[in-house]
């Protein structure tokens, strides 16, 4: 009996070590396994105290935890300070902040990466999808009304026979969507309340038309396409909360209006933009970005814009390669935007490649300065071996590399056939070279073949020297095999999700 009492006391004491802050469990390596045993379904955020995106997530994460707790749910939310619990963070492959993983059924070996938005409703809906039925059975009108009232978007399947092929296709579609709640009903009163006379699917939303009725063939693919096309507003603001929905969607062509929300003509510009959007629903996503918000300045820079140049319109495709387009007319009218988008959909637009003017002293210093306008002339000179650093002014690793790169330039300043150069890739773009991360180092050997070799060796003067003296072999790799780099821009969302890494210690971009 004493042993049993002692074990119980120790168990209670152990669980007492799991603290809470605003209904969020505070976990450490010492209590992590105990937490998984006590709470089999637990969502864990690995964060850093200095991370701006982690700070922004705090209120929504706590709200989600409180919502689940108030419902009596067994699902709990937890957090781990990854800077204090480095071993735990390493064990679960944390490379950026915040990283959020769902441990289902107490399984600590293969947690599921969180993949939805950053608002409380997104978090709760995603967790419910992961632990419960894909669609909630709605047996009463009040249940359906509650689902619609409590969510920005909700999808309800109306099926007289819940075992029909259409109902099964609907449930398969529901399983595939993380960020929208689904309901299914066979109740006549619910059919009547929402004026549905036959089997079908209705998407309810608190914006634009208010509801959309599916009118295609009831199969998973068509239902998913219908949901993706209608779950976002015709015009959506780019924010930290909406970014996952924008970039996680099926629509990869985005037109962006950069405009200060505080401007006196903001509503007029929005009216023109929204009017233009109506004809491109499901084809082009219309997004506006407040050009005065500090967090958006890197996105403006990515498009070669300054605050004083806004309002402005740009279009980007987020396929394998990001391609940007600029309208000929800067006037923001529905007619101009429609014409611009029509040319794009017809494949009649040429990409817009940014370039600074060629500096007068571009070749006067040990490290030559390249811009879009002189790039190909320099790097494809058949008599020169050109080693180029593609950098971003804000990149911490680029700043760390700068003195070494300068020494390399000085070493080969008087060389007859080796040129050391650099290019600001936030202000200059090259059609033949796509840069996805900073710094990116590429070698263009002499000759007429226009070869490109990626540098993957050590970022030291000795490593660079060996590489150049070996003709790009020692430390080189075939084009396309890039090493681990500093700050990625694999898609535009990365620009919003970068925390500064000014100390050059390898900070990765946020991955939520």
- Residues classed as catalytic: 51, 54, 395, 398
Distance of CA 297 to the CA centre of its chain: 16
- Of 500, 429, 416, 485, the closest CA to residue 454 belongs to 485
DSSP structure string for 192-209: HHTT--SSEEEEEESSTT
- Classify residue 96 as left (phi > 0), alpha (psi -120 to 50) or beta: beta
Q: Which residues contact 222 (CB under 8 A, 6 or more apart)?
A: 214, 216
* Alpha helices per DSSP H over 383-426: 396-411
Q: Strand 76-81 and strand 99-103: pairing? A: unpaired
Please, is 406 exposed, middle or buried when counting C-beta atoms within 10 Å of its C-beta (0-12, 13-18, 19+)?
A: middle
Q: In what helix (H) or strand (E) does residue 323 lie, and over which residues does it extend?
A: strand 322-325
Structure-block tokens of residue 410: 């000085």
Cα→Cα distances 406→43, 400, 505, Å: 47, 11, 20
- Of 417, 391, 422, 413, the closest CA to residue 487 belongs to 391
Cα→Cα distances 427→8, 127, 303, 370, 373, Å: 64, 41, 8, 11, 11
Q: In what helix (H) or strand (E) does residue 422 lie, and over which residues does it extend?
A: strand 418-424
Instruction: Provide the angle, in degrees to the nearest 10, between the axes of the packed helices 334-345 and 266-277.
Output: 40
C-alpha dihedral, 309 to 312 to 317 to 323, nearest 10°: -40
Cα→Cα distances 32→18, 27, 35, 44, 512, Å: 9, 6, 5, 10, 21
HEC string of 82-103 equals: CCCCHHHHHHCCCCCCCEEEEE
DSSP state of 297: H
For residue 116, give the 3-state DSSP assignment: coil
Q: Which residues contact 26 (CB under 8 A, 6 or more apart)?
A: 18, 19, 20, 78, 79
Contact 329, 345 (CB under 8 A): no
Question: CA-CA distance, 72 to 170, in Å (whole number)?
Answer: 28
Structure-block tokens of residue 164: 């029909």
Question: CA-CA distance, 232 to 236, in Å (whole number)?
Answer: 7
């Amino acid at each position: 009996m004493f042993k049993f009492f002692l074990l119980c006391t120790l168990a209670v004491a152990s669980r007492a070590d799991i603290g809470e802050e605003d209904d969020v469990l505070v976990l450490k390596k010492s209590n992590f396994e105990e937490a998984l045993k006590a709470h089999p379904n637990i969502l864990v955020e690995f964060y850093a105290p200095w991370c701006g995106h982690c700070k922004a997530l705090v209120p929504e994460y706590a709200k989600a935890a409180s919502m689940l707790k108030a419902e009596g749910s067994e699902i709990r939310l937890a957090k781990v300070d990854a800077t204090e619990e480095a071993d735990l963070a390493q064990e679960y492959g944390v490379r950026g902040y915040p990283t959020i993983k769902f441990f289902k059924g107490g399984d600590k070996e293969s947690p599921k990466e969180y993949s939805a938005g950053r608002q409380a409703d997104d978090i709760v809906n995603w967790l419910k999808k992961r632990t419960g039925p894909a669609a909630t059975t709605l047996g009463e009108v009040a249940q359906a009304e509650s689902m619609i009232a409590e969510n920005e978007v909700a999808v309800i399947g109306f099926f007289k026979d819940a075992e029909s092929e259409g109902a099964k296709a609907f449930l398969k579609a529901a399983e595939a969507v993380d960020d929208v709640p689904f309901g299914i009903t066979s109740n006549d009163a619910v059919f009547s309340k929402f004026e549905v006379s036959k089997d079908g699917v209705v998407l309810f939303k608190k914006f634009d038309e208010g509801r959309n009725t599916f009118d295609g063939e009831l199969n998973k693919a068509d239902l998913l396409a219908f949901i993706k096309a209608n779950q976002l507003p015709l015009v959506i603001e780019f924010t930290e909360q909406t970014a996952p929905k924008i970039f996680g969607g099926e629509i990869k062509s985005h037109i962006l209006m950069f405009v200060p929300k505080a401007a006196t003509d903001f509503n007029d510009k929005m009216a023109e933009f929204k009017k233009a959007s109506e004809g491109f629903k499901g084809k082009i996503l219309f997004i506006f970005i407040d050009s005065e918000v500090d967090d958006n300045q890197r996105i403006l820079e990515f498009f070669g814009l300054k605050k004083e140049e806004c309002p402005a319109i740009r279009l980007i495709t987020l396929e394998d390669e990001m391609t940007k387009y600029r309208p000929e007319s800067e006037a923001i009218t529905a007619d101009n935007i429609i014409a611009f988008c029509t040319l794009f959909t017809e494949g009649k637009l040429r990409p817009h490649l940014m370039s600074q003017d060629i500096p007068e002293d571009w070749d006067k210093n040990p490290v030559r300065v390249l811009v879009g306008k002189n790039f190909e002339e320099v790097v494809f000179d058949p008599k020169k071996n050109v080693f180029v650093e593609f950098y971003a002014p804000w990149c911490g690793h680029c700043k760390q590399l700068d003195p070494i790169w300068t020494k390399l330039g000085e070493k080969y300043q008087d060389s007859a056939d080796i040129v050391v150069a650099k290019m600001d890739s936030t202000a200059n773009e090259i059609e033949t070279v796509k840069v996805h991360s900073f710094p990116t180092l590429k070698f263009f050997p002499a000759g007429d073949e226009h070869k490109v070799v990626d540098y993957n060796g050590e970022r030291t003067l000795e490593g660079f020297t060996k590489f150049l003296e070996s003709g790009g072999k020692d430390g080189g790799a075939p084009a396309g095999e890039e090493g681990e780099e500093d700050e990625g821009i694999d898609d535009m969302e990365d620009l919003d999700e970068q925390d500064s890494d000014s100390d050059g210690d390898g900070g990765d971009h946020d991955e939520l």
